[in-house]
Amino acid sequence: MAPNRILIIDDDPDITEAMRVVLENEGYEVDNAKDGEDGMRRIKAARPDLIILDVMMTTAEEGFDVSRALKKNPQYKSIPILMLTAVKQKTGLDFKSVAGDDTWLPVEEFLDKPVKPDVLLKKVAELLQKP
């Protein structure tokens, strides 16, 4: 069986590389994109099984826009999205309470950065429904 494909959409190369190492060590296939536009291209080229998405990239709300666009598209709406961001740390706003709202924040899970490797792996496994 082929490994699950995970796409990380995040503009911070250090965060992306740290997550890549953790996920690849667990046997996941990992790709990354530096922003929403690059992420959408990669999703169309090779549909991932899971997306890990930052909020603040090219714009302060780019991750929100990407999640909404994906969930409105019948071809991609079933891909689980784990939003992983430092938005609370940078703005003081906490979006966990609205995660899953179809119009405001249509993501399956929301975690604050920094995230511990074991927490990341647990959430990824849950979203992929792995034992």
Burial of 43: CB neighbours in 10 Å, binned 0-12, 13-18, 19+: buried
User: What is the DSSP pairing of strand 81-85 with strand 29-33?
Assistant: unpaired
The reported pTM is: 0.87
Q: What is the pLDDT of residue 130?
A: 55
Q: What is the pLDDT of residue 22?
A: 97
Please choose, from the candidates 42, 44, 52, 43, the residue with its C-alpha nearest in 3D space to the C-alpha of residue 22. Answer: 52
Q: What is the pLDDT of residue 56?
A: 87
Ordered structural domains, the chain, with CATH: 5-128 (3.40.50.2300)
Distance CA 36, CA 98 (A): 21
Q: What is the pLDDT of residue 52?
A: 98
Q: What is the pLDDT of residue 131?
A: 43
Give me the DSSP letters along the chain. Answer: -PPPEEEEE-S-HHHHHHHHHHHHHTT-EEEEESSHHHHHHHHHHS--SEEEE-S-SSSTTHHHHHHHHHHHSTTTTTS-EEEEE-HHHHH----GGGTTBTTTB--SEEEESS--HHHHHHHHHHHHT--
> Per residue of the chain (131 residues), what is the pLDDT tens digit?
789 999 999 999 999 999 999 999 999 999 999 999 999 999 999 999 999 999 889 998 899 999 999 999 999 999 999 998 775 555 455 554 545 455 556 789 888 888 999 999 999 999 998 54
